[in-house]
Amino acid sequence: MIAEMIKKAGLGDILVRVEAGERLGVDDAARLYLSPDILALGYMANIVRERINGNRAYFIYNQHINYSNICSNLCKFCAFGKPADHEQAYEMSVDEIRRKVRERLDEPIVEVHVVGGIHPDLPYSYYLDMLRGIKQERPDVHIQGFTGVEIAHLAEISGKGLEATLIDLIDAGLGSIPGGGAEVFSARIREITCEKKLSGEGWLEVARAAHKLGLKSNATMLYGHIETIEERVDHLLRLRELQDETGGFMTFIPLAFHPHNTEMHDLSRSTGIEDLKNIAVARLFLDNFPHIKAYWIMIGAKLAQVALSFGADDVDGTVSEEKITRMAGGEAGQFLARNELVRMIKEAGRVPVERDTLYSTIREYE
Ligand code: V47
């Protein structure tokens, strides 16, 4: 009956290939994006999701620290970055960052996620001191920090090149790299929305260099603004190709554009169907990515729960104090307690697995 429904949706040939475990092509991905049949997409994405991750759904006990919003890129889609003289501009000293970590030592946090803007004049030593400081406060914590764009900036200010910079960061305590800054790789999109930002090729180069050093990373795509379906598929293809080469990506996270307080505030927010579709198509096309994350901060906890049946196997974590989405009008809240995450996953019919950053199991909740 389901096969009939999928055939009726004109996707029967894709179902055959999904069931056979065959790789989908760029035309397939475009057809999936164009299909309004969300249940057909979800059914197929769920086949791949369960093949790779069974019935598990991951979450992590983490803390986000956005150390500064001062940014020289000032991308049109971003409400977080501010010029240095803006009344809302801020930067935390290393001591303040250490205090943030220290304040929560009684919680079972396993990851500190550190991201900021492209600050025009913080010195290289600040970033190394920040990593060392976090580790001194909480020696066992995994630091997932600095998007590919920040790392390229650090390589520039260190004057040492990418590889030596990454080695410095690893020595100071960096454990892995989050997926931000990828946006959409298309040069057209970057020229219109973030002309000062590192190019798509530059972002991929940072990921390649990191993976070569054994550093794992994530990847994102910012969707729901002015990108075309072809540009989305091209973005996914470039990620899949790099993953074939290095195997260093852990997770893909589609990020729903939030227009509020941005220069692109005339655009509407993505709909639930669009959010689920981006999860499902990513799960079907990125056959070499172990994980697809439904980031509840961006799409809301309720839709993230539904997304666990549409290809996602991860909802991120407790988070707290995230500013990038909040500044752009995100209403999902800032913090979910561990028991709320467990309940949300269980009610979706999945087995909650509390993980560390690299997806080792900390606890399975039967
Ligand atoms: O790089 C900026 C995006 C990213 C907006 O790796 C926006 O596990 C929506 O990458 N609307 C930062 N998105 C967040 C990020 C992330 C978050 C959680 C987990 C992981 C991970 C990565 O947020 C930025 C940019 O692509 N962004 N402005 C906006 N208005």
Q: Could you tell me which of 292, 358, 223, 235 has the C-alpha nearest to residue 46?
A: 292
Task: Determine if ligand 1 sits within 6 Å of the CB of residue 180.
Answer: yes
Task: Determine if ligand 1 sits within 6 Å of the CB of residue 253.
Answer: yes
Average pLDDT over residues 190-206: 98
Length of the chain: 366
Tell me: pLDDT of 328 over 90.
no
- Determine the Cα–Cα distance for residues 313 and 364; give it in Å rounded to an integer: 14
89 in Cβ contact with 83 (< 8 Å)? yes
What's the CA-to-centroid distance between 254 and ligand 1, angstroms? Answer: 9
Q: What pLDDT is stored for residue 111 in this prediction? A: 97
80 in Cβ contact with 67 (< 8 Å)? no
86 in Cβ contact with 110 (< 8 Å)? no
Task: Determine if ligand 1 sits within 6 Å of the CB of residue 316.
Answer: yes
Average pLDDT over residues 158-177: 98
- First and final CA of the chain: distance in angstroms? 32
Task: Determine if ligand 1 sits within 6 Å of the CB of residue 62.
Answer: no
Furthest C-alpha separation in the chain = 62
The domains of the chain, with CATH numbers, are 54-364 (3.20.20.70)
For 26-60, write each residue's pLDDT tens digit. 999 999 999 999 999 999 999 999 999 999 999 99
Probe residue for ligand 1, chosen from 185, 255, 291, 322 as the CB with the greatest number of ligand atoms within 8 Å: 255
Which amino acid type is present at position 318?
Answer: T
- Determine the Cα–Cα distance for residues 302 and 292; give it in Å rounded to an integer: 17
Residue indicated by tokens 């803390």:
63
Probe residue for ligand 1, chosen from 222, 266, 269 as the CB with the greatest number of ligand atoms within 8 Å: 222
Q: What pLDDT is stored for residue 175 in this prediction? A: 98
For 269-289, write each residue's pLDDT tens digit. 999 999 999 999 999 999 999
What does the buried/exposed string (b/e) look like for 257-294 if buried means 16 or more CB atoms within 10 Å of the residue's CB?
Answer: bbbeebebeeeeebeeebbbbbbbbbbbbbbebbbbbb
Task: Determine if ligand 1 sits within 6 Å of the CB of residue 324.
Answer: yes
Write down the H helix ranges in the chain: 2-8, 12-19, 26-34, 38-53, 94-102, 124-137, 148-158, 162-172, 187-193, 200-212, 229-246, 272-285, 296-299, 301-307, 324-327, 338-347
Please list, in sequence order, all residues whose beta carbon lies within 8 angstroms of the beta carbon of residue 301, skipping any fewer than 6 positions away: 315, 332, 333, 336, 340, 344
Q: What is the 3-state secondary structure (H, E, C) of 77-143?
A: CCCCCECCCCCCCCECCHHHHHHHHHCCCCCCCCEEEECCCCCCCCCHHHHHHHHHHHHHHCCCCEE
What's the CA-to-centroid distance between 17 and ligand 1, angstroms? Answer: 32
| Cα–Cα separations (whole angstroms), residue 291 to 38, 59, 131, 347 | 20, 12, 26, 20
Per-residue confidence band for 171, with pLDDT thresholds at 50, 70 and 90:
very high
Distant-in-sequence contacts of 122-128, Cβ < 8 A, 24+ apart: 122/68, 122/91, 123/157, 124/154, 124/157, 124/158, 126/94, 127/154, 127/169, 127/172, 128/168, 128/169, 128/172
pLDDT over 90 percentage in the chain:
92
What's the CA-to-centroid distance between 179 and ligand 1, angstroms? Answer: 8
Q: What pLDDT is stored for residue 179 in this prediction? A: 98
For 125-156, write each residue's pLDDT tens digit. 999 999 999 999 999 999 999 999 999 999 99
Atom of ligand 1 nearest to the CA of 298: 9
What's the CA-to-centroid distance between 220 and ligand 1, angstroms? Answer: 7
Atom of ligand 1 nearest to the CA of 259: 30
Task: Determine if ligand 1 sits within 6 Å of the CB of residue 77.
Answer: yes
Per-residue confidence band for 354, with pLDDT thresholds at 50, 70 and 90:
very high
Task: Determine if ligand 1 sits within 6 Å of the CB of residue 218.
Answer: yes
Per-residue confidence band for 294, with pLDDT thresholds at 50, 70 and 90:
very high
DSSP string, 158-175: HTS-HHHHHHHHHHHTEE
Probe residue for ligand 1, chosen from 73, 176, 220, 250 as the CB with the greatest number of ligand atoms within 8 Å: 220
Q: Considering the chain, what is the average pLDDT of its residues? A: 96
Helix (H, G, I), strand (E, B) or coil at 269: coil
What's the CA-to-centroid distance between 56 and ligand 1, angstroms? Answer: 24
For 220-262, write each residue's pLDDT tens digit. 999 999 999 999 999 999 999 999 999 999 999 999 999 999 9
Tell me: pLDDT of 320 over 80.
no
- Determine the Cα–Cα distance for residues 83 and 214; give it in Å rounded to an integer: 35
